[in-house]
Structure 1
Amino acid sequence: MEDTDQAPFVLQNAPAKADAAGNGFPDRYAIKGTGTDRVLTCLEAPNIQVVVKSSLTVTASAARKAPAGTIYLDGVAQAAPFLDHEKKVYNLDHHEGCVRTFTLATCEQALIMCVKGLDLQEREWKIYANEPDLDAILSIWIILNYKRINNREAINRRSLFALVRLEGIIDSLGLEMRELSGFPEDLLQKLMRVIDRLRAEELELKKAGKWAGTDFLDYTLGVLRKLDQFLIKQGELDDFKGIEELARIELTNNRIAVVVESDLGIYELEPHLAKLYGNRLGWVALRRGEKDYTLRQMDLFMPVNLEDVYQRLNFMDPAVKGRLNVNRWGGSGDIGGSPRSTGTRLAPADIVSACRDVIDKRSDIRHVKRFLTSAVLAALILVAAIATAQNWHPAHWLDREGMAAWSLHPLFGYYLALLVLTVVILGTMAIRRPWQFGIILPSGKDWLRLLPFAVACGLSDLLPVPGKALFAADPVVAWTIALVLIPLAMELLFRSLIHGMMAQLATIQDCESRWFFSGPTIGSSLLYTAAVSVQMIMMPVDPASTRTLVFMVQFAAMAAIFGLFAGMIRERSHSILPAWLFHAAAVATLILTYGPA
């Protein structure tokens, strides 16, 4: 009993232990915001989050169905204590469904679970408590310090066991039964002084009637710090490195990507990261300043390397916007960093999200789902535009006589509806990442090589253009519709909205990449082909004309080729403007060569 009987109890009016530099005990705990919740974390166990909410309870059935990696403490789950190792869900409790007198307290259950070797490193965990009494806080300390529990050199292990045993008896049976611990009188008195010190603030708050309004997370953090001073051996934290986890995300095959902040360099940090995360760490981003990051690949056997991550980050980062310059994410396949000139405008959560996007790109199912979602949206817009055109009566709606003939034409109503609907949806989807949808100025010059193909497409005489009736009614308006309204509506829909949606998880070209047909280019081209084919059938320019099967096949083939060229121009330039220019040039070539349809 050397640790327990002879080690000094520093909580009894003694100064805090000092680290090697003579400073106060290192602060290993922090409170963070995650969405609408606040959680408590330990810097040495960043995969574990603690939630302490007053009156928090869940039903027995809900507790059994909780997400994997859930631990309920001391009355949160209205169920008997259980250990579901298969689902990784645990309820440590001595309230419901048990004989309290014969059941170990929550802190004793937590201690036994950790001493028996429960592996808490291989996944994320969330601990739920509803009131931070000493029983619950001891349980939290034990779980957060699970790595130290079985290290006899790291903590005053016997002191921990003695404190947990005594608190367990008091919490389950009452203060008057404390002698059941069997501790010698002097040890019992020492432990009682420790407990009194740990509970002093709680008792004062309850006496003043302020306990219900207490910030339970702040209170829990304070008691955890006191427990550190009592239980962790002198000098054990001399080499403690304040590595703060800013964001984390699951990747694949039990691998994760994290963003951390530390005063150490990335190479100095690697052994400490190995202690924190074991072999789970795939990629790490070290924040060196408010906008500066170093990326490091920790697992050499990741299915992709950092080159793919750089491309994704450059696609997402507003500070880069895919432009042709050196201010980009980049480096080698195993180490790199953020843009040097301006830094990044991405948050830590965005960086790890980009890492997962790179992994998700390899999933064919995700690509199929994204394509189908885009197809459904395009179909809804087209159906709405066709319905508008077939019921196009602006003179009646506006109660105006003598409106211009071109404004009454269903084709004008169709493209106007197409443009308005697309712009409205784009406005909601592209507001955070306009560059993803090509809503930026063009970059680079190699896209100019594709412009001559616009002439070839126009010479095919197989593109949708306004009919002779519109040109006869008002040539200026007809040319405006042909060169502005039609190309702009179609390109915004297919090369901006649809292409941008599919580009979320895809590798696409940029002004510096090799030339290839990307998934979004092919997908948007297929949907464009289907759309103009349906338009040709449902809304022919000349209702009296007949379209043979051969003509429709030729028309669809040209639409597909045209869509591929327009998509490549959109990607190489990073902008929708050159795609609109390509479309307008092709239409102008057709009309000037063959006349209106």
Structure 2
Amino acid sequence: MEDTDQLPFVLENAPLKQDAAGHVFPDRYSIKEVGTDRTLTCFEAPNLQVTIKAGLTVTASAARKAPPGTIYLDGVAQAEPFLDHEKKVYNLDHHEGCVRTFTLATCEQALIMCVKGFDLRDREWKIFANEPDLDTILAIWILLNHQRINNRDAIHRRSLFALVRLEGIIDAIGLELRELSGLPADLLQKLMRIIDRLRMEELELKKGGEWSKTDFLAYTVGVLRKLDQFLIKLGELDDFKGIEELARIELTNNRIAVVVASDLGIYELEPHLIKLYGNRLGWVALRRGEKDYTLRQMDLFMPVNLEDVYQRLNFMDPAVKGRINVSRWGGSGDIGGSPRNLGTRLLPGEIVSACRDVIEKRSDIRHVKRFLSSAVFSMLIVIAAIAMGQNWESARWLGRETLGEVFRSPVVGFHTALLFFTTIMLGIVALRRPWQFGLMLPAGKDWWRLLPMAILCGFTGDMLVPDKMMFAADPVAAWTIALVLIPLSLELLFRSLVHGMMAQLATIQDSESRWFFSGPTIGSALLYAATIGFQMTMMADSPMAFLTNGILIKYIAVAAIFGLAAGMIRERSHSILPAWLFHAAAVATSLFAFGPA
């Protein structure tokens, strides 16, 4: 049995960096900065984040409505102590809504919860405090070390219980009633010396008027390290392996994907990962260098394997951008890694986001929502372009009354506006990932196989071309509009903007993949065909007659077929340029074969 009377006497005289037996205590705590936020974490409980802000408070109603996985400590929530197991929200407190004299202190509440089996490994938790007094820091230590609390071989449990009970009495009802702890007189004195040592810096800062200026997180880390040496058994941390969690994301069926950093190899790391995360770990990415990662599938029963993750990462990674003849993410179905030559340019958060995308892209609802949002964007651009075309007064706007008849045409106005509004939207959405929208040089060569399909569509005579009047007025301008303005405006809208938006969660072709019709190719082709049909109807001399004579169906069918071919060209070349060139080739074929409409 543990000798509670003797242990504190040994520990209170031990140095802070090394225990009496020469064992060095590792630094298990770190402070992370994400933007303007700073949090404290423990390497052995990376899913717990501690925030300490002076004066932080939330109302009782806000505390009850807090996001799942929230724990308030010692006065942050202005409400009575409560345990909401259904919502996973807890308030460990003894200030508001209770009789303080009869209510356990915060550290005692935390200890009782953990001793009764409170398991914090099932999700991410955010712990909030507003002042790091010893009561609060003890509660934080208990929560961060909840897996060790019930391991009698890992910590000095009776010493922890005695220390928490004494601090709880002092914090709740005062130092003068410390004898209510029921501890023997000599043990009480030894524990008081330990408490004084733990509070020494706090008292000095308060005495000097510096407490309010103190970095509370850094101060808390210092006290937590001292508590490690007081409470963790000698040699228990000798096999501790520093594992830093860099990113985490929820997947499905209580599974997560994480990115970690460690000096160990992935196979050596697996037992420690299982200890940290239990059976929740689906995929893990181990950072081996600044830009090098190893991917490992921990759960063999995931609905997809790493092959799908590689495809998504290659689509997202600026270092790859889907091109051939470069290093790529790859490997087997259960282990692989980042590009070998230059490494990856993805951040840890983006890597786990790719893992979630692979899971979520299997949802039909996600695809429908993406299609509808893309349709709305394209519809708004087309409507704006129609409005511009109907009110096209280029000569007056440019102050050139001698401007040619061709450039006064509403058709020119429509496609100029279409090009303008599409370019504006691409500048907004494609800035971070231009390759996702085909804004790069072509790759591969097999997309040339689709040239006959474009020529065949041109031979139908149903491609959108300027009318005879424009060619009669200015042939050079008309050919420029036919081969440049019209194809470019349509391809940028449908094969760049719309296709790129739909490709966010979809599996698409690349220059080395098998041939198939992807969701973005089909979706963009449908929207393209609908727009062509609408435009042809509006351009007809008698729209109602045009709708009923059957010609419209032919235009829409040809547009849909060409849209499918252009989408495949866009995907296999990774670029919008071949789609534009093949569109121009189809238009040129139509003009040479049938002349202007």
The verdict on a shared fold, with TM-score over 0.5 as the criterion, is: yes
Q: Does 2:422 align with 1:422?
A: yes
How far apart, CA to CA, are the structure 2 residues paired with 1:226 and 1:21? 16
SS of aligned partner of 1:379: helix
Q: 1:190-223: CA deviations, max 9, x gaps?
A: 1111111111111111111111111111111111
Q: 1:552-571: CA deviations, max 9, x gaps?
A: 11111111101000000000
Q: Which residue of 2 aligns with 1:221?
A: 221
Q: 1:493-551: CA deviations, max 9, x gaps?
A: 10001000000000000011110000000000011011111111223489899564411
Q: Which residue of 2 aligns with 1:206?
A: 206
How far apart, CA to CA, are the structure 2 residues paired with 1:37 and 1:434? 30
TM-aligned CA deviation for residue 575 of structure 1: 0.5
How far apart, CA to CA, are the structure 1 residues paired with 2:468 and 2:542? 9
Given that 2:14 and 2:20 are in contact with CA atoms closer than 8 Å, whether structure 1 keeps it comes out as no
Given that 2:165 and 2:181 are in contact with CA atoms closer than 8 Å, whether structure 1 keeps it comes out as yes
How far apart, CA to CA, are the structure 2 residues paired with 1:87 and 1:314? 38
TM-aligned CA deviation for residue 35 of structure 1: 4.2
How far apart, CA to CA, are the structure 2 residues paired with 1:221 and 1:357? 36
Q: 1:261-304: CA deviations, max 9, x gaps?
A: 11111111111100000000000000000010000000000000
Q: Which residue of 1 aligns with 2:178?
A: 178
Q: Which residue of 1 aligns with 2:280?
A: 280
SS of aligned partner of 1:5: coil
- Alpha carbons of structure 1 residues 427 and 60: separation in structure 2 relative to 1, 3 Å: same
Given that 1:3 and 1:157 are in contact with CA atoms closer than 8 Å, whether structure 2 keeps it comes out as no
Runs (5+) with no aligned partner, structure 2 = none
TM-aligned CA deviation for residue 8 of structure 1: 4.2
- Alpha carbons of structure 1 residues 382 and 458: separation in structure 2 relative to 1, 3 Å: same
How far apart, CA to CA, are the structure 2 residues paired with 1:210 and 1:17? 26
Q: 1:350-394: CA deviations, max 9, x gaps?
A: 100000000011111111110110000000000000000011112
How far apart, CA to CA, are the structure 1 residues paired with 2:284 and 2:407? 58
SS of aligned partner of 1:249: strand
How far apart, CA to CA, are the structure 2 residues paired with 1:491 and 1:21? 73
Q: 1:12-36: CA deviations, max 9, x gaps?
A: 4531364899673101111112343
Given that 2:70 and 2:125 are in contact with CA atoms closer than 8 Å, whether structure 1 keeps it comes out as yes
- Alpha carbons of structure 1 residues 12 and 20: separation in structure 2 relative to 1, 3 Å: closer
Given that 1:450 and 1:569 are in contact with CA atoms closer than 8 Å, whether structure 2 keeps it comes out as yes
Q: Does 2:306 align with 1:306?
A: yes
| 1:540-579 matches, cutoff 5 A | 540=540, 546=546, 548-579=548-579
How far apart, CA to CA, are the structure 1 residues paired with 2:542 and 2:319? 49
Q: Which residue of 1 aligns with 2:441?
A: 441
Q: 1:220-250: CA deviations, max 9, x gaps?
A: 1111111111110100001000011110000
Given that 2:8 and 2:159 are in contact with CA atoms closer than 8 Å, whether structure 1 keeps it comes out as no
SS of aligned partner of 1:504: coil
Given that 2:8 and 2:191 are in contact with CA atoms closer than 8 Å, whether structure 1 keeps it comes out as no
Given that 1:10 and 1:16 are in contact with CA atoms closer than 8 Å, whether structure 2 keeps it comes out as no
Q: Which residue of 1 aligns with 2:515?
A: 515
Given that 1:9 and 1:230 are in contact with CA atoms closer than 8 Å, whether structure 2 keeps it comes out as no
Given that 1:20 and 1:235 are in contact with CA atoms closer than 8 Å, whether structure 2 keeps it comes out as no
- Alpha carbons of structure 1 residues 212 and 11: separation in structure 2 relative to 1, 3 Å: farther
Identity of aligned residues (%): 77
TM-aligned CA deviation for residue 400 of structure 1: 3.4
How far apart, CA to CA, are the structure 2 residues paired with 1:441 and 1:531? 27
| 1:237-256 matches, cutoff 5 A | 237-256=237-256
How far apart, CA to CA, are the structure 1 residues paired with 2:194 and 2:538? 83
- Alpha carbons of structure 1 residues 544 and 39: separation in structure 2 relative to 1, 3 Å: closer
Given that 1:466 and 1:541 are in contact with CA atoms closer than 8 Å, whether structure 2 keeps it comes out as no
Q: Which residue of 2 aligns with 1:109?
A: 109
Q: Which residue of 2 aligns with 1:333?
A: 333
| 1:442-461 matches, cutoff 5 A | 442-461=442-461
Q: 1:314-369: CA deviations, max 9, x gaps?
A: 00001111111250000000000000011001011110000000001111111111
- Alpha carbons of structure 1 residues 31 and 179: separation in structure 2 relative to 1, 3 Å: same
SS of aligned partner of 2:56: coil
Q: Which residue of 1 aligns with 2:585?
A: 585
Q: Which residue of 1 aligns with 2:269?
A: 269
Letter in 2 for 1:585: A
How far apart, CA to CA, are the structure 2 residues paired with 1:225 and 1:3? 23
Q: 1:440-493: CA deviations, max 9, x gaps?
A: 111111000001111100001111111112112211111111111111111111
| 1:70-81 matches, cutoff 5 A | 70-81=70-81
SS of aligned partner of 1:68: coil
TM-aligned CA deviation for residue 397 of structure 1: 2.8
Q: Does 2:23 align with 1:48?
A: no
- Alpha carbons of structure 1 residues 4 and 400: separation in structure 2 relative to 1, 3 Å: same
How far apart, CA to CA, are the structure 2 residues paired with 1:22 and 1:452? 78
- Alpha carbons of structure 1 residues 125 and 403: separation in structure 2 relative to 1, 3 Å: same
SS of aligned partner of 2:590: helix
User: Over aligned residue pairs, what C-alpha RMSD do you find?
Assistant: 1.7
Count of residue correspondences: 597
| 1:54-203 matches, cutoff 5 A | 54-203=54-203
SS of aligned partner of 1:91: strand
- Alpha carbons of structure 1 residues 520 and 182: separation in structure 2 relative to 1, 3 Å: same
Q: Does 2:38 align with 1:38?
A: yes
How far apart, CA to CA, are the structure 1 residues paired with 2:22 and 2:274? 27
How far apart, CA to CA, are the structure 2 residues paired with 1:547 and 1:351? 50
SS of aligned partner of 1:224: helix
| 1:365-376 matches, cutoff 5 A | 365-376=365-376
Given that 1:243 and 1:262 are in contact with CA atoms closer than 8 Å, whether structure 2 keeps it comes out as yes
Letter in 1 for 2:253: N
Letter in 2 for 1:278: G
- Alpha carbons of structure 1 residues 594 and 89: separation in structure 2 relative to 1, 3 Å: same
TM-aligned CA deviation for residue 2 of structure 1: 3.9
Given that 2:244 and 2:262 are in contact with CA atoms closer than 8 Å, whether structure 1 keeps it comes out as yes
Q: 1:87-126: CA deviations, max 9, x gaps?
A: 1110000000000011000000000000000121111111
How far apart, CA to CA, are the structure 2 residues paired with 1:242 and 1:490? 54
Q: Which residue of 1 aligns with 2:478?
A: 478
Q: 1:396-421: CA deviations, max 9, x gaps?
A: 33343222212211111110110011
How far apart, CA to CA, are the structure 2 residues paired with 1:578 and 1:250? 39
SS of aligned partner of 1:583: helix
- Alpha carbons of structure 1 residues 167 and 544: separation in structure 2 relative to 1, 3 Å: closer
SS of aligned partner of 1:451: helix
Q: TM-score, normalised by structure 1?
A: 0.98
Letter in 1 for 2:121: Q
TM-aligned CA deviation for residue 38 of structure 1: 1.2
Given that 2:2 and 2:156 are in contact with CA atoms closer than 8 Å, whether structure 1 keeps it comes out as no
Given that 2:23 and 2:238 are in contact with CA atoms closer than 8 Å, whether structure 1 keeps it comes out as no
Given that 1:255 and 1:281 are in contact with CA atoms closer than 8 Å, whether structure 2 keeps it comes out as yes
How far apart, CA to CA, are the structure 1 residues paired with 2:546 and 2:302? 57
How far apart, CA to CA, are the structure 1 residues paired with 2:81 and 2:544? 78
Q: Which residue of 2 aligns with 1:493?
A: 493
Letter in 1 for 2:39: V
Q: Does 2:471 align with 1:468?
A: no
How far apart, CA to CA, are the structure 1 residues paired with 2:112 and 2:92? 11
How far apart, CA to CA, are the structure 2 residues paired with 1:150 and 1:333? 38
Given that 2:502 and 2:520 are in contact with CA atoms closer than 8 Å, whether structure 1 keeps it comes out as yes
How far apart, CA to CA, are the structure 2 residues paired with 1:162 and 1:492? 71
Given that 1:317 and 1:344 are in contact with CA atoms closer than 8 Å, whether structure 2 keeps it comes out as yes
Runs (5+) with no aligned partner, structure 1 = none
